[in-house]
Chain A
């Protein structure tokens, strides 16, 4: 009878000579220490302060980040930018309507619907995702190489079309409706860089200490954001590409200004029930919903009372930029 452990020991024997030695490992460690996030990292003002690096979270296009000052234990970021800028501009494809849709930890996304449709009647066709630099999404199954997109390597994996839209930047087209040829046409139209700031249909005056804005969503049905406690930011930033959404983080706080189409009540006065969830009607026939998983109802109500929705959420042009709508302490900065 053979022991599995013995067979495993045997299976790893016969190794070729190692390409690296201890000096290589130490050199790699030093390099990582000085450039801790080789691809990208997210730092909040609090995190940065903890690490001993002075950095001002930018607020608007005129803001200039203070040059970081490294301490012996700190990362040395080379540049900083707003977390809340889409990584690609809006783009046009004949026959389709493209709208910026969601900005989160791993990617910016646009929603693609049929041209000529609008509002709640529009028919969703596909999503175009552009990952943050260095983020490689989790993939299962086999990848199959396909013709390059605008000269960039491309492949199919599990019916998703991926291509390297820029150096170290991956983009994807996801659709359960479109043919491969139409998905390629969408991909070909995407232009990286120069994206606008994400916008929200509200301004928020109070948040529990340590909460950070990690998701901004905008669609025909309204606006929503997700915030998580500081520890959740660490969790999400440590798992790029793992589809770790804010909903998985304990203490997740959602604020939404949306068209009430789910049959849930829309009271004219702010109403909070037994659960940590508050609702109230706002302008333009929209509803404000604030929900904090694991939070007390009193705390959620305090947040809800500090939210001021825009007069008419149906007019997206009136929405403020996300980094102007929340307390500075809740904002994230990308450090590359």
Chain B
């Protein structure tokens, strides 16, 4: 095994799980998320020696692939969405599980790119500029999507929701 491949394997071992979570929150389906991660990491494998920041590249590629998964026409999708976000939250009495379902439900109502902006900014902690670079869109779009996304989420969570980066809008 080459040094290059050993480095790549180490990176995948460390980041694959979190990248899958990032993709899942963006596209809303675990299997599609795994496909997005697989696609993004296989691209990274090819470009490994030419990419400055492996983490940034992987994150961007995963989010873009996950957005693409939401756009794939029905005839190219696998019809196996057993882990797709539920349409309605079902509380089981456990606060954490309730929050999880409510957040998944809330995210499922956002357009894919708006969802990606929220996830990149508040899960990955990216700045407006970094998010715009990751999604290849203007910073103004990121700000607008952030604002609209937060408004939508607050409609479900009410005033109990706090977003640490709001001051940066």
Binding site for B on A (CB under 8 A): 1-5, 7-16, 18-20, 22, 24-26, 28-33, 36, 136, 138-140, 143, 145, 153, 155, 157, 162, 164
Known: A9-B123, A13-B100. 18 other contacts (CB 8 A): A1-B162, A2-B162, A4-B162, A5-B125, A8-B103, A10-B103, A11-B99, A11-B104, A14-B97, A15-B30, A16-B83, A18-B20, A19-B34, A22-B13, A26-B12, A32-B42, A32-B43, A155-B75
Given contacts A4-B162, A26-B8, A33-B46, contact A12 B24 (CB under 8 A): yes
In the complex, residue of chain A having the shortest beta-carbon distance to the beta carbon of B46 = A33
- Contact: A157 with B122, CB < 8 Å? no
Given contacts A2-B157, A5-B123, A7-B99, contact A29 B46 (CB under 8 A): yes
Partner of A136, one of B73, B107, B123, B153: B73
- Contact: B161 with A11, CB < 8 Å? no
Partner of B122, one of A5, A10, A13: A5
- Contact: B45 with A136, CB < 8 Å? no
Binding site for A on B (CB under 8 A): 5, 8-9, 12-13, 16-17, 20-22, 24-25, 30-31, 34, 37-39, 41-46, 71-76, 83, 96-97, 99-100, 102-104, 107, 118-119, 122-123, 125, 150, 153, 157, 160-164
Give the dominant DSSP class at A's interface. mixed
- Report which residue of A32, A36, A145 has the largest number of chain B beta carbons within 10 angstroms of its beta carbon: A32
| Interchain CA distance A26-B118 in the complex, whole Å | 30
| Interchain CA distance A30-B4 in the complex, whole Å | 12
Instruction: State the Cβ distance, A200 to closest chain B Cβ, in Å.
Output: 32
- Report which residue of A11, A31, A140, A143 has the largest number of chain B beta carbons within 10 angstroms of its beta carbon: A11
Residues of B within 8 A of A11 (CB): 25, 99-100, 103-104, 107
Given contacts A2-B161, A5-B164, A15-B20, contact A25 B73 (CB under 8 A): no
- Contact: B34 with A18, CB < 8 Å? yes
Residues of A within 8 A of B22 (CB): 12
Would you list the 3 A-B pairs with minimal beta carbon distance, nearest first?
A: A29-B45, A12-B21, A11-B103
Residues of B within 8 A of A155 (CB): 73-75
- Contact: A28 with B41, CB < 8 Å? yes
- Contact: A26 with B75, CB < 8 Å? no
Residues of B within 8 A of A24 (CB): 38
Given contacts A2-B162, A7-B103, A157-B73, contact A26 B9 (CB under 8 A): yes
Partner of B123, one of A8, A32, A145, A164: A8
